Amino acid sequence: MDQKAPKRYRILVLDGLSPKGVELLAGEPRLEVTNSPTLNPVDLQQTIGDYDGVIVRSATKITADILEHAQRVRLLCRAGIGVDNIDLDAATSKGIVVMNSPGGNVVTTAEHTLSMLLSLSRNIPQAVLAMRAGRWERKKFTGVEVYRKVLGVIGLGRIGSVVARLALGIGMQVIGYDPYISREKVESLGIEVVSFEEVLRRCDYLTLHTPMTEETRSLIGAKELAQMKQGVRIINCARGGLVNEAALLEGLQSGKVAGAALDVFEQEPPPPAHPLVNHPAVICTPHLGAATEEAQDRIAVDVAQQMIDFFLHGQIRNAVNVPSIDAESFQRIKPFLALAEKLGRFQAQLAEGGVQEVSIQYSGEVAGYDTKWISLTLLNGVLTTFLGDTVNVVNAGVVARNRGIRIVESSSSEAEDYTSLITVTITTDVGAHTMSGTILGKRDERIILIDGYRIEVVPQGHLLIVRNEDQPGVIGRLGTILGRNGLNIGGMHLGRLAPHGQAMCILAVDSPVPQSVINEILQYPPFISVNAVTL
Ligand code: NAD
Ligand code: MLT
């Protein structure tokens, strides 16, 4: 028997991922793994097109130019948290899912932050250097206690909240600011939540744990430093540039800032003779926050598992450019994904003129599900009809936005006679069509309403959608024309708004209906419109 061999996927692993992750991938017979710890950008550009999935740590920059050659890549995984070495917009536009691995290095980075805070307070690195140079300088390196000092934490996400917990454990008082996190959750950790300005005013130590965004770039600059206590100490183990380096240097020179501990820099590695690296009150590490054996093993295993789940089980976790969905929710929405895709393709084939708006209404049970993927799948169905396979569910939202198409979503708990209903209206510069679909039983797709006509159609194969005046003999004429052209009718569905008004007839035919046959039908006055749709 001719059985199709299961599809195999080619995975490129860069930047020296920990062997635990590489081994996990290599253990999957359907994955072909290439481990290239030191591939340069030119070689990467030449070879990336051979792969379905790519894993990077922080060294490789996945630029728009490189992505131009990544015609086959569907998944890019960043082993670590920050995806700043990947051009996210370019990846999304090309329909590539980008994932990170946010859990594996949280504790490690928080521990590094605490190590930096304590080392800074006791001048440990400076004392080591002095001893190596033969000096025994006990007075010079007298430090300060951290006990009962106020630590201000900006950004109370995964790492910031662990830093806060560790700092509370050594007797510090912790205040924090994060406008995007629930106050109750943070306060339950023993952190006093205050405004940004109050953190600045009250803290003896300031530590930053936000992502680098347009909003957070230079979050601490000259103006913010001016509001802080004389002799404040600053720790940055998040991203270079959250603290403005020029302002920090000035603060150190004026004595406003007593010391700084930096793991990250605006430019990495910083240029030789960087004034902060060489400042006596600054201690620094070369972006070592996540650099422990445990964290690197965890991250490698996490990204490898995410790759496996994506290619072999269709699961998306920790995606940063599309909604993530767990296996259970995915199973629940699966029948609706297939229906949504067909609703989109059906509607797009009926539409005339440029699409201006796609409006999707979820009614009944489906309204309670995670509908983001259903909407993206529907949109993908619409757009691939016009644009071909350059569109997929990852870039459908971006492509729609770039073309000025509005997406409107709404939901209601009522679905008339059905358990769940998806209703789509596509508005073009010529007019609008509305269509509703449902799932009968577990996975039987049905279109049940088209532009006000109640008509139950299985959305598959070749369909001919005919609008006509409701007169005797019309259906017979339709059958004659199709028969004369060798087109076999497999099914027929009728709907009308009122007797002797307008009617709709949908024929399921065994082969595509050529335009010449449509033109022939339209020669007869009772026929108002004829559209051929293939699903
Ligand atoms: P996270 O997403 O869990 O938390 C970030 C928090 O910052 C969120 O709660 C968010 O609400 C908050 N935030 C965003 N904008 C803010 C603003 N303007 N003011 C205050 N809070 C704001 O991220 P995470 O995993 O905790 O990582 C934090 C940072 O640490 C990231 O920049 C990450 O790249 C970096 N990181 C560095 C290393 C290292 O090696 N040094 C290792 C891991 C992570
Ligand atoms: C991260 O974003 O995960 C950290 O900065 C660590 C790293 O880049 O390796």
In a domain, 449, yes or no: yes
Domain finish residue from 460, 481, 507? 460
The verdict on the CB of residue 82 being under 6 Å from ligand 2 is yes
Query: 344 and 393 in contact (C-beta within 8 Å)?
Result: no
Angle, alpha carbons 475-477-480 (nearest 5°): 110
Query: 282 and 257 in contact (C-beta within 8 Å)?
Result: no
- Tell me: do 405 and 484 sit in the same domain: no
Of these residues, 268, 294, 416, 456, which one is catalytic?
268
Alpha carbon 394 to chain centroid, angstroms = 8
In a domain, 290, yes or no: no
Ligand 1 centroid distance, CA of 322 (Å): 19
Question: Within a 10 A sphere around the Cβ of 115, how many other Cβ atoms?
Answer: 18
Compute the average pLDDT of residues 15-19: 97
Could you tell which of 107, 109, 266, 302 is best to mutate to test the pocket of ligand 1, judged by most ligand atoms within 8 Å of the CB?
Answer: 109
Does residue 239 have an active-site annotation?
yes
List pLDDT tens digits, range 480-514.
999 999 999 999 999 988 877 899 999 999 999 99
- Tell me: do 80 and 116 sit in the same domain: no
The verdict on the CB of residue 300 being under 6 Å from ligand 2 is no
List pLDDT tens digits, range 450-477.
999 999 999 999 999 999 998 888 889 9
Compute the average pLDDT of residues 389-408: 90
DSSP string, 303-366: HHHHHHHHHHH--B-SBSSS--B-HHHHHHHHHHHHHHHHHHHHHHHH--S-EEEEEEEEEEGG
List pLDDT tens digits, range 209-253.
998 888 899 999 999 999 999 999 999 999 999 999 999 999 999
In a domain, 455, yes or no: yes
- DSSP class of residue 270? P
H or E, element range at 437: strand 432-440
- Tell me: do 100 and 146 sit in the same domain: no
Residue 444 phi/psi, 5-degree rounding, is: -85, 110
Between CA 54 and CA 71 the distance in angstroms is 12
- Tell me: do 273 and 225 sit in the same domain: yes
| pLDDT of 415 over the 80 cut | no
Could you identify the residue written with the tokens 């039983």?
Answer: 441
In a domain, 3, yes or no: no
Half-sphere exposure of 51 (CA within 13 A, CB side): 27
| pLDDT of 4 over the 80 cut | no
Query: 185 and 201 in contact (C-beta within 8 Å)?
Result: no
What is the domain extent for residue 400? 325-460
Here the tokens at position 55 are 């894993």
- Tell me: do 332 and 301 sit in the same domain: no
In a domain, 93, yes or no: yes
Per-residue pLDDT band for 3 (boundaries 50, 70, 90) equals low
In a domain, 253, yes or no: yes
Per-residue pLDDT band for 183 (boundaries 50, 70, 90) equals confident
- CATH code for the domain in which residue 303 is found: 3.40.50.720
H or E, element range at 252: helix 245-254
User: For position 150, what pLDDT does the model report?
Assistant: 98
Question: Within a 10 A sphere around the Cβ of 155, how many other Cβ atoms?
Answer: 24
In a domain, 84, yes or no: yes
| pLDDT of 2 over the 60 cut | no
Residue 460: partners with Cβ closer than 8 Å, 6 or more residues away = 342, 445, 535
Strand 462-469, strand 527-534: pairing: antiparallel
273-310 per-residue burial string, b: 16 or more CB within 10 A, e: under 16 = ebebbebebbbbbebbbbebeebbebbbbbbbbbbbeb
Q: Which atom of ligand 1 is nearest to the CA of 211?
A: 32
- Tell me: do 345 and 425 sit in the same domain: yes
- CATH code for the domain in which residue 346 is found: 3.30.1330.90
- DSSP class of residue 220? B
Query: 366 and 421 in contact (C-beta within 8 Å)?
Result: yes
- Name residue 31's amino acid: L
- Tell me: do 354 and 276 sit in the same domain: no
| pLDDT of 201 over the 90 cut | yes
Using CA atoms, how far residue 17 sits from 61, 166, 295, in Å, is 15, 29, 12
- Tell me: do 259 and 235 sit in the same domain: yes
- DSSP class of residue 368? G
Could you identify the residue written with the tokens 């279109």?
Answer: 447
Could you tell which of 77, 81, 83 is best to mutate to test the pocket of ligand 2, judged by most ligand atoms within 8 Å of the CB?
Answer: 81
| pLDDT of 1 over the 70 cut | no
Of these residues, 57, 78, 239, 345, which one is catalytic?
239
In a domain, 390, yes or no: yes
Ligand 1 centroid distance, CA of 220 (Å): 15
Ligand 1 centroid distance, CA of 480 (Å): 69
Query: 518 and 465 in contact (C-beta within 8 Å)?
Result: no
Q: Which of 351, 346, 343 is nearest to 436 (CA)?
A: 343
List pLDDT tens digits, range 125-175.
999 999 999 999 999 999 999 999 999 999 999 999 999 999 999 999 999
Residue 216: partners with Cβ closer than 8 Å, 6 or more residues away = 210, 239, 242
List pLDDT tens digits, range 67-102.
999 999 999 999 999 999 999 999 998 989 999 999
- Tell me: do 454 and 483 sit in the same domain: no
| pLDDT of 416 over the 90 cut | no
Residues with C-beta less than 6 Å from any ligand 1 atom: 81-82, 102, 105-106, 109, 154-160, 177-181, 209-212, 215-216, 237-239, 263-264, 287, 289-290
Q: Which of 31, 33, 85 is nearest to 57 (CA)?
A: 85
Structural domain total, the chain: 4
List pLDDT tens digits, range 108-139.
999 999 999 999 999 999 999 999 999 999 99
- Tell me: do 395 and 440 sit in the same domain: yes
150-154, strands of its sheet edge to edge: 192-193, 173-177, 150-154, 205-208, 232-236, 257-262, 282-284
- Tell me: do 414 and 444 sit in the same domain: yes
List pLDDT tens digits, range 40-63.
999 999 999 999 999 999 999 999
Between CA 256 and CA 275 the distance in angstroms is 17
The verdict on the CB of residue 54 being under 6 Å from ligand 2 is no
- CATH code for the domain in which residue 503 is found: 3.30.70.260
